Amino acid sequence: MNEQIATIQSQALELIAAASDERSLDDARVSVLGKKGSLSLAGAAIKDVPKEEKAAFGQSLNAARTAITSALEEKQIALQEIADRAALAGIDPTLPGRSLPTGALHPLTQIRDEAIQILRRMGFALADGPEIEDEYHCFDALNTPADHPARNEKDTFYFNSGKLLRTHTSSVQIRTMETAAPPIRIIAPGSAYRRDEIDATHLSVFNQLEGLYVDTDVTLPDLKGTLEYFFREMFGTSTEVRFRPHFFPFTEPSFEIDVKLQIKGQAPRWIEVAGCGMVDPAVFESINATRKDNALCPESVTGFAFGMGLDRLAMIRWAIKDIRLLIENDTRFLSQFA
């Protein structure tokens, strides 16, 4: 029996040495060590070996298995080295490595995240709402009359169903006040849609961030202080901020906010970035009618609201002269923010 094992070992080593690829090496392994391999079948015959010879037979069997396994591993390493050399054939390993471009968040995403962080530190919570809205949440509840220009098809994208693409994220304010009771302090970043003429400072699809604070004794100085703090945190303590009286149907008094844009080689100029004001009591009354309670009684609560264009904030932060650069997906432009 020991002679049989020696013969099997010798034949196995020859098969392994002759293997030219991984497949032939695996065939050699199976033919010897597989379930029906020659060494496995020889080992199964140990039951027929006389008792006094079993120990010696077992030692020979184990020695053969160890030698064959070692030969298989060495051959595997040798074949892998051959394959590696073939894969590197024609490649000059002394050439310098090729640099990979660095990825980064889009500048609009960066400015949105930073704006959220600043306002979250001031106690504002995130809120969300649908981009396809109805006229009640987009206009009626916001005290916008039926003949207001914003409700014209020339200014707003309408569907045949009568629904529309929201013209501002102010609709999230209404949806929040419909379900929550004061104190309310939320921000709502998201897309808005208007039929604006596309130019260096206007897009038909833009990114807005809405804010709302409703509680007892909320005042105009609270609004002014909140937004001045926000813009100076965003752009630096020397940032020039200007409040201009304006009119919005849903706030009274109302203001537009400008921040001075300074681009190298150009004269500084004011650019509008936000609208704001104290929530009009008519808005509270409309929502109370929907809620069927008096949780937002205008005699008990006050509030302020603001909405800012994130695209405009990005223009000021990085002195971008044309808002269209933010949507053209030109990697030569976007790589500056990586």
Q: What is the DSSP letter of 133?
A: E
Q: Do both 275 and 242 map to the same domain? A: yes
Binding site membership: which residues? 252
Give ∠ CA 74-75-76 in degrees, rounded to 5: 90
**Who's near 318: CB < 8 A, 6+ residues apart?**
107, 336, 337
In a domain, 168, yes or no: yes
pLDDT of residue 60: 75
Q: Do both 73 and 131 map to the same domain? A: no
Going by pLDDT thresholds of 50, 70 and 90, the confidence category of residue 54 is: low
Q: Do both 190 and 270 map to the same domain? A: yes
Q: Do both 42 and 169 map to the same domain? A: no
Per-residue pLDDT tens digits for 62-84:
787 888 888 888 888 988 888 88
Q: Do both 197 and 115 map to the same domain? A: yes
Output 109 or 43, whichever has higher pLDDT.
109
- Whether residue 49 is predicted with pLDDT greater than 70 in this model: the reply is no
Q: Do both 80 and 114 map to the same domain? A: no
Q: Do both 178 and 292 map to the same domain? A: yes
Q: Do both 65 and 146 map to the same domain? A: no
Please say which residue of 87, 121, 136 terminates a domain: 87
Highest mean pLDDT among 32-36, 60-64, 92-96: 92-96
Classify residue 287 as exposed, middle or buried by CB count within 10 Å of its CB (0-12, 13-18, 19+). buried
Query: Residue 58 is which amino acid?
Result: G
Among 45-54, 223-232, 284-293, 313-322, which is the least confidently predicted range? 45-54
Mean pLDDT for 23-50 is: 75
In a domain, 95, yes or no: no
pLDDT of residue 303: 96
Per-residue pLDDT tens digits for 233-243:
998 888 889 99
Q: Do both 209 and 127 map to the same domain? A: yes
In a domain, 164, yes or no: yes
pLDDT of residue 113: 96
Classify residue 246 as exposed, middle or buried by CB count within 10 Å of its CB (0-12, 13-18, 19+). middle
pLDDT of residue 24: 85
Q: Do both 63 and 133 map to the same domain? A: no
In a domain, 215, yes or no: yes
pTM recorded for the entire structure: 0.69
Q: 61-83 burial string, b = 16+ CB within 10 Å, else e?
A: beebbeebeebbeebbeebeeee
Please say which residue of 87, 118, 141 terminates a domain: 87
Please say which residue of 53, 87, 121 terminates a domain: 87
In a domain, 299, yes or no: yes
Q: Do both 79 and 113 map to the same domain? A: no
pLDDT of residue 101: 76
- Whether residue 53 is predicted with pLDDT greater than 70 in this model: the reply is no
pLDDT of residue 64: 76
Q: What's the total number of domains in the chain?
A: 2
Q: How far apart are CA 171 and CA 194, in angstroms?
A: 14
In a domain, 98, yes or no: no
Backbone angles phi, psi at 19, to 5 degrees: -65, 130
Binding site membership for Mg(2+): which residues? 252
Mean pLDDT for 261-285 is: 87
**Range 268-273, long-range pairs (CB < 8 A, 24+ positions):** 270/242, 271/201, 271/312, 271/315, 271/316, 272/312, 273/231, 273/308, 273/309, 273/312, 273/313, 273/316
In a domain, 100, yes or no: no
Q: Do both 72 and 131 map to the same domain? A: no
CATH number at residue 303: 3.30.930.10
End-to-end CA distance of the chain: 72
Per-residue pLDDT tens digits for 188-226:
999 999 998 888 888 899 999 999 999 999 999 999 999
Per-residue pLDDT tens digits for 255-270:
999 988 777 777 888 8
Instruction: Name the nearest CA neighbour of 313 among 226, 224, 236.
Output: 236
Q: Which domain holds residue 176?
A: 107-337
Per-residue pLDDT tens digits for 116-133:
999 999 999 999 999 999
- Whether residue 300 is predicted with pLDDT greater than 70 in this model: the reply is yes
In a domain, 96, yes or no: no
